[in-house]
Amino acid sequence: MNKTLYKQEKTISILGCGWLGLPLAKFLMKNACSVKGSTPTPEKISRLAQDGITPYLIFFDPEINADFDADFFNSEILIVNFPPKRREDIEEFHPKQFKALIEQLNLSSVKKVIFISSTSVYANLNRLVTEEDNQIPEKNSGKALRIVEKMLLSQQNFQTSIIRFGGLIGYDRKPGRFFSKMKNAVEGDTPVNLIHQDDCINIISHLIENNLWGEIYNACCPKHPSRKEFYEEAAKKGGFESPKFVSNQSPYKIISSAKLEKTHYKFKFSNPIDALI
């Protein structure tokens, strides 16, 4: 067995083994954790099993699927990693999904939860924002996340820590492609709030290793280059046509990760430009 990062071997369930959840599961298994992973897609069950993850078919529509296996929730720690769906009624639908999830958690052995949230919970305040900022965000998805965060934090049977990740980059995600096909010029002065997949995984592990429960943490690269600086370099590195930018700034926010850094977490990529390959 590999040497564990943690004080003792843990059983961890990951609700949502997609772009982030799958490599997270592999990382945790390398560090002597027993990992259960869920997918809403039957075709992906065999893929999880091939990677050594104990697979479960679980989805919320908004109730949990009738044929789910409750053994998935027989773990010490649950990592919840499924974002709000793109639908008009997401402010009502997403909380219903979490009501169903919380019902299962209250029947389970789970005592610790990590909820993967997003910086979309913040309004564009045209300044640095911290975990203390509670202004209503513009996007309905951000409003939905605010609601489910409060639902989880209010529970008495388990503790929740929330990680609000910025825009996810790394590996097969090629940000240079993002603006390359746009015919209209893009506002270039707006700062970006991004984070690499490796840092996402390391931060989740950091919270578990250091027992940082019952907290909310922002998680973005500490440096925030302008959209023009980042995407011009991303296009160059990726071999894409460079987008056209105008010197204009749309409403923005600069996400502070100072609270996370005070826990002695050190970012692998302090500047998202350094993460480009």
* Cis peptide bond N-terminal to 62, omega within 30: yes
Per DSSP (E only), the strands in 7-121 are 11-15, 34-39, 54-57, 77-80, 112-118
Q: What separation, in Å, do the N-terminal and C-terminal C-alpha atoms of the chain show? A: 33
pLDDT at position 1 over 80: no
User: Which of 29-43, 84-98, 175-189, 197-211 shows the lowest per-residue confidence on average (mean pLDDT)?
Assistant: 175-189
| Tens of pLDDT, residues 197-238 | 999 999 999 999 999 999 999 999 999 999 999 999 999 998
SS3 of 176, please?
helix
Per-residue pLDDT tens digits for 71-110: 999 999 999 999 999 999 999 999 999 999 999 999 999 9
The mean pLDDT value for 180-199 works out to 89
Q: Is the pLDDT of residue 7 over 70?
A: no
Question: Bridge partners of 169?
Answer: 196
Q: Name every residue whose Cβ is closer than 8 Å to that of residue 65 and which is 6 or more positions away in sequence.
A: 57, 58, 59
3-state secondary structure of 179: coil
Name residues whose C-beta falls within 8 Å of residue 14's C-beta, 6 or more positions apart in sequence.
Answer: 21, 24, 25, 35, 36, 37, 38, 78, 79, 81
Lowest mean pLDDT among 67-81, 106-120, 174-188: 174-188
| pLDDT given at position 6 | 59
pLDDT-derived band at 186 (thresholds 50, 70, 90) equals confident
What tokens appear for 104 in the block?
Answer: 């299962």
Q: Which contacts qualify for 126-129: CB closer than 8 Å, 24 or more apart?
A: 126/251, 126/252, 126/253, 127/253, 127/254, 128/253, 128/254, 128/255, 128/256, 129/218, 129/253, 129/254, 129/255, 129/256
231 φ/ψ sector (left φ>0, alpha ψ -120 to 50, else beta): alpha
